[in-house]
Structure formats: structure tokens, C-alpha cells
A and B are shown apart, each in its own frame.
Chain A
């Protein structure tokens, strides 16, 4: 009897965890499209230069862990606000030519690399310097 209950529990648990993983993966796909992570990968590549194999492996393990921490914040946000179906609809939109272009500009906007955003940031920095004088 105990064995049957255990097997049934495992059978119920396994697809649930699979669905959760799929949701998380889909959220990561959205994050990769609209959030600028180039600085993180730039730091990673810089650290990996001229390091021996053992150090590289250890660093990459820590780095991947840090990415999971980063993604988790977004996964928590999306899971609290959107269904998996809505996430898939977002992904479908971002796959269209107009959606892709728009997502790229959102990414630039989020990282202050948007062409007009950079000029604005520069202006704001000049204001800060002016106030300090």
C-alpha cells in the first residue's frame, strides 16, 4: 500500500516539476530578449581570460549560480503576475519581426543604451555635476 502511494505521489510530482521548469525556461527566454545582460557576460569573459582550467570551471559554476539568482527575481515576478499561456503569447509576439525589433529597443531602454536614453543620461549627469559646484 505504502509503495503504491509512493509511486502515485512520484507520478504526480514529476510532471508538476517539469511544468515548473518549462515555465521558468520560458521566462528566461523573455528575460534574455528584453533585459540587457551584456555587462554580466562581459565581466564573465574578462575573468575567464588567462585563467587555468580549474579556476575557469569553478568560476563558471559560480557564475551560472549567480545567473539563476538573477533570473529567479524575474521568475518570481512573472509567476506572480502571468500565466504560462500568457508567457507563451509574449514569446510569440517577440518572435514576430516587429516584436523582435521592439524587444531589442526595450532591451536598450532597460540598459540605458537606447540612443535617446544615452543622451538623456548624459544630460542628467551634467545636471548632477552642475549642482555639485
Chain B
């Protein structure tokens, strides 16, 4: 860039502008990414994974349990990454912010704390409904 050439100065300014534009854009996307990670933490994804781990282990023989858990634990990071990608692609910054605001309230924090119990209630509710299926549905199938 030569000081006496206004065209190259303009060109340099344009490149500088584009550079800062992408720098700012990158910092916004980084903050959205960290917001999504906070959201995933607050919605209790870790607890969901733990309950899934416990339920899945019930369907594996004792001799295979150790190997299964090694494989299972190996999939967790990928799964969490893909959930994070899902929220990044399908939710706006504003939506993420609104949901995070809710989870930051005393009620929202309580919901996060109780996620595991909520999921366990869900398993119990399904179990009770499955009992109905066995007792009653078959009776009606053949009527």
C-alpha cells in the first residue's frame, strides 16, 4: 500500500472493515454457543443422559455391562455436541436468551435441580401405564 495511492488505501480500509466485521460476528456466535451450552446444562441434559444410561444398562447382561458402559460413555460428548448444534441451528439468540432468563429465575433453578426426579417420575408413570396395557389392552384386542 503506497501512501500516494488513494485506491489502495480504500482497498486496505475495506479489508480492515471486513476483518473486524467477521471478528465481531465470530464473537457473537461464540457468545451464542456458550449460551446454548448453558441452556443444555440448565435443561438437565446431563441428568437425562444419566437416566438413559441407567435404563439402558438394565437391558444388558451383567457380563457385558462394563464394556457397554465404556462404549456408552464414549458416545456422550458426541451426543451433547449434536444437541448443542440442534439448538444453535433451530433457535434464535433471542429465543435462547428468553429460555435462559426463565431458567435463571428461582423457579427455573428449582426445575433444573428436580430434573432427575422428574425423569424418574416419567419412568414410573410409563411403568404403571404399561401394566394397564398388559392387563386391559389385550382383553379388548380379542373382543
Contacts and interface: CB of A to CB of B under 8 A. Distances in A.
Interface of A: 35, 40, 43, 47, 51, 55, 58-59, 62-63, 66, 69-71, 73-74, 76-77, 81-82, 86, 89-90, 93, 96-99, 101-102, 106, 109-110, 114-117, 119-120, 123-124, 127-128, 130-132
Interface of B: 43, 48, 56, 59-60, 64, 67-68, 71-72, 75, 78-79, 82-83, 85-86, 91, 94-95, 98-99, 102, 105, 107, 110-111, 114, 117-119, 121-122, 124-126, 128-129, 132-133, 136-137, 140-141, 143
Given A102-B95, A127-B72, 20 more contacts: A47-B137, A51-B143, A58-B140, A66-B129, A70-B128, A70-B129, A73-B121, A77-B118, A82-B110, A86-B107, A90-B111, A98-B91, A98-B95, A99-B98, A114-B86, A116-B86, A124-B75, A130-B71, A131-B67, A131-B71
Identify whether the interface residues of A are mostly helix, strand, loop, or mixed: helix
Nearest to A82: B110
Interface centre among B125, B126, B133 (most CB of A within 10 A): B125
A131 B61 CA distance: 10
A98 B99 contact: yes
A74 B75 contact: no
Contacts of A74: 121-122, 125
Contact of A123 (B75, B91, B99, B119): B75
A128 B60 contact: yes
B125 A70 contact: yes
Contact of A128 (B59, B98, B119, B126): B59
A10 B24 CA distance: 67
B111 to A, nearest CB: 7
Given A99-B99, A101-B91, A116-B82, A77 B68 contact: no
Contacts of A116: 79, 82-83, 85-86
Given A73-B128, A101-B91, A81 B86 contact: no
Given A69-B129, A77-B117, A86 B67 contact: no
A62 B129 CA distance: 11
Contacts of B119: 110
Nearest to B123: A73
B77 to A, nearest CB: 11
A77 B75 CA distance: 31
A76 B95 CA distance: 31
13 contacts: A55-B140, A73-B124, A77-B117, A77-B121, A81-B110, A81-B114, A96-B98, A98-B91, A98-B94, A114-B83, A114-B86, A128-B68, A131-B71
